[in-house]
Amino acid sequence: MHDKFATMFCFTLIFLISPVSLLNAAVFGFTGPYDVANWNQFTNTRGSFDLSNAPDSIRLQGGDNRGDNQGGGAAGGAYFSITLATDDNLGFSWAFNATETPFWDPIGYSIDGAFTKLTDDYGPFFQSGTVVGLSVRAGQTFAFEARTLDNILGPSTLTISDFSSTSAVPEPTSFAIFGCTVAGMSLLRIRKKSRPEELHPSSPISNS
């Protein structure tokens, strides 16, 4: 009876906790700790940010100083960054639109300033792809970047969608399973202790 109760209790606990733990461990879209309000926006080349489609997607536009007294030529871009509070694995889809050879207006992401280019320098003016399982540590700054090298001939555009994060910390489900295991072992020990000792057969009486 104790065994049946322990089994039913553990399965019920896991069934109830699992959906909640999945929601707590994963973020889909720019929500929760990754809400757009928690990101920093910076541009030094007349770049821009369109957050009107958040939490589903965001858009960065790199620089184009045509018409300014600078006359272009100044490298820079648009940077959308956040400093992580916990270790995370990030994922996202990206789409790139250029008005000149992509070499001059690369897009990508950075971790603590180390830039990873996503575009093919001499590929088509429209490119897209997906990044999954990108490991970022607590305290590191992650950024989406739409860069420009020449700052003329029109800006590039970076659109980020399907953003997700899966926390690297243990999920509550793991603790629930561990707890059930410990509880089950304890119940078995109690049951074993409470079992009556088996009687040893009497020694045969010898006839003298």
Reported as a single tens digit per residue, the pLDDT across 18-65 is: 444 444 458 999 999 999 999 999 998 888 999 999 999 999 998 777
pLDDT in tens, 110-154: 999 999 999 999 999 999 999 999 999 999 999 999 998 887 877
Token pair belonging to 108: 């990508």
Is residue 160, in this structure, part of any structural domain at all? yes
Q: Which residue has the higher pLDDT, 103 or 191?
A: 103
pTM for the full model?
Answer: 0.68
Q: How confident is residue 75, by pLDDT bands cut at 50, 70 and 90? A: confident
108 shares a domain with 42: yes
Same domain, 45 and 137: yes
With 0-12 / 13-18 / 19 or more C-beta atoms within 10 angstroms meaning exposed / middle / buried, residue 62 is: buried
76 and 113 share one domain: yes
Note down the domain range covering 8.
2-22+171-192
* Whether 114 and 127 share a structural domain: yes
Q: Are residues 79 and 175 in the same domain?
A: no
**Taking the C-alpha atoms of 147, 60, 117 and 57 in order, what is their torsion angle to the nearest 10 degrees?**
180
CATH of the domain at 108: 2.60.120
**Mean pLDDT within 155-173:** 78
166 membership: H or E segment, kind and range: strand 157-167
Res. 158: pLDDT tops 50: yes
Does residue 200 form part of some domain?
no
Whether residue 208 is contained in a domain is answered as no
Query: Is 206 a member of any domain?
Result: no
Same structural domain, 161 and 179:
no
SS3 150: coil
**Based on the domain organization, do 15 and 70 belong to the same domain?**
no
The total of structural domains in the chain comes to: 2
Residue 65 domain flag: yes
Pair (18, 57) in one structural domain: no
pLDDT band at 171, cuts 50/70/90?
very low
**Strand bridging mode 48-50 / 114-117:** unpaired
**Is residue 117, in this structure, part of any structural domain at all?**
yes
**How many Å from the N-terminal Cα to the C-terminal Cα in the chain?**
50
The confidence band for 108, taking pLDDT boundaries of 50, 70 and 90, is very high
What pLDDT score was predicted for residue 184? 52
Which residue shows structure tokens 């897209």?
128
d(CA 24, CA 104): 41
Residues 104 and 176 in one domain: no
Annotate 9-27 with b (16+ C-beta within 10 A) or e (fewer): ebeebeeebeeebeeebeb
Residue 80 has pLDDT above 80, yes or no: yes
